[in-house]
Amino acid sequence: MNKSAITKRIGTLLVSFLLFMAAFVINSSESRSFTLLGCLGEYDISKFTELDRICEECYILYREPELNISCRKDCFRNEVFGNCVDALKLSHEKKKLLEFVDQVFG
């Protein structure tokens, strides 16, 4: 193998390694958030992300800094989360969302 082929192979391996590490760091950060919020149930990233997104959109709607904390308090098992679901006009999905809360809460 010549030097050019070796350099190309090393570059490919390095890029692959960096992409793997970035994915690992992102996933670790999300699972830390899961634990810090008091979630002890099933860590389903899609369900957790959907619940988290509701709190984020509620914050964007009202621009009240305490919403970032109160909506996520006790792993989304609180009155503020339910109020955010209603404010975002997601009442038709409320039953499903509360099932997600039960699953991640544990």
Mean pLDDT score of the chain, rounded to an integer?
81
Q: What is the pLDDT of residue 7?
A: 65
Give the pair of three-digit tokens for residue 33.
């958030």
- Label residue 33 by pLDDT band (50, 70, 90): confident
pLDDT tens profile 53-93: 999 999 999 999 898 899 999 999 999 999 999 999 999 99
For the segment 14-21, the average pLDDT, to the nearest whole number, is 47
Question: Would the pLDDT of 8 be above 70?
Answer: no
For the segment 27-36, the average pLDDT, to the nearest whole number, is 59
Q: Domains (ranges, CATH) in the chain? A: 3-105 (1.10.2010.10)
CB 55 within 8 A of CB 67: yes
Question: Would the pLDDT of 26 be above 70?
Answer: no
| 78 torsion bin: left (phi>0), alpha (psi -120 to 50), beta (else) | beta
